[in-house]
Amino acid sequence: SYSGSPANLAVYLAFLSPGDTILGMALPHGGHLTHGASVSISGKYFRAESYGLSEKTGLLDYEALRQTALACRPKIIVAGHSAYPRIIDFALYRDIADESGALLLVDMAHFAGLVAGGVHPSPIPYADVVTTTTHKSLRGPRGAIIMCKKEYAAAIDKAVFPGIQGGPHNNITAAMAVAFKEAATDEFKEYTQQVINNAHALAETLVEKGFDLITGGTENHLLLIDLTDKGITGKAAAQVLDAAGLVVNYNAVPFDKRKPWDPSGIRLGTAAVTSRGFKEEEMRQVGEWIDTVVTDPENEQAVAAIAEDIKSFCKGFPAPGIN
């Protein structure tokens, strides 16, 4: 498939009719637009129900998910996320899907590279269908793949072509082959373990600085931070961090009281900087920079100085393939 969103749409087209029910993680709780968000085609063409995190524990509420599934009887339950920093229980999702009579779709776009590297559980033994992008933590070209049980292959093939796309992008297919070969190497396994190590180091540094990490930390490559206690919005923080040379995503957080286009949080990931050679020491320095900028965002002189420091710092960690 061309990318992750069309891949998910192909799965819906294969198994659903307009108005059928899907059950996915709510967007502010870490889900993706294509998991049933109201502004997405997945929320416009289908009856979208949602589940999310427990306000008490800050973690995914599996019992509430089960109760919702039994109440709405979805045709598809979507597992996976774009901003949930914990490992999810695929076996429990399987049990809930079986109990409610649903197919289980796992969208592992964000953590597929970690699965390939053996540092994150695989959804393959549990899901009926798995979709993933081939970029992000898998660090291949922009594209996507759909994997499924044999009995569903014909329906999904038909949904992809002629259902939602025309000819293949053969250049992307070739690039995927290169990425998959790299993902089978010991070097890739070392990279994925370092991605995890780097996320832990950054999380520990930010917690020490008083940042409020959603779920209290991370088990993958993602950090989601609620900046409410820092007195700055996610959008404002992202903009001033960008001026300092630190690129993050402003992001809604669970139970966010702000609007999605000006939310309370920021989302960070460690895959790209790990590919540049960052390790724990560098991640702690990144955490120090983030703290300095977010704590005093009006200090233009300090922001400019950090931008110069980062520019010099990154010369020691060139992007792969760029001499």
Contacts of 273 (CB under 8 A, 6+ apart): 198, 282, 283, 286, 317
DSSP letter at 151 equals: G
pTM: 0.94
Distance CA 147, CA 127 (A): 9
pLDDT in tens, 216-239: 999 999 999 999 999 999 999 999
pLDDT for residue 323 is more than 70: no
Position 168 scores a pLDDT of: 85
pLDDT in tens, 177-189: 999 999 999 999 9
Residue 288 sits at φ, ψ, to 5 deg, of -65, -45
pLDDT for residue 41 is more than 80: yes
Domains for the chain: give ranges and CATH numbers. Answer: 4-183 (3.40.640.10), 189-314 (3.90.1150.10)
Closest CA to 66 of 30, 98, 34, 26: 98
Structure tokens at 87: 């490992």
Residue 287 exposure: Cα atoms within 13 Å on the Cβ side: 24
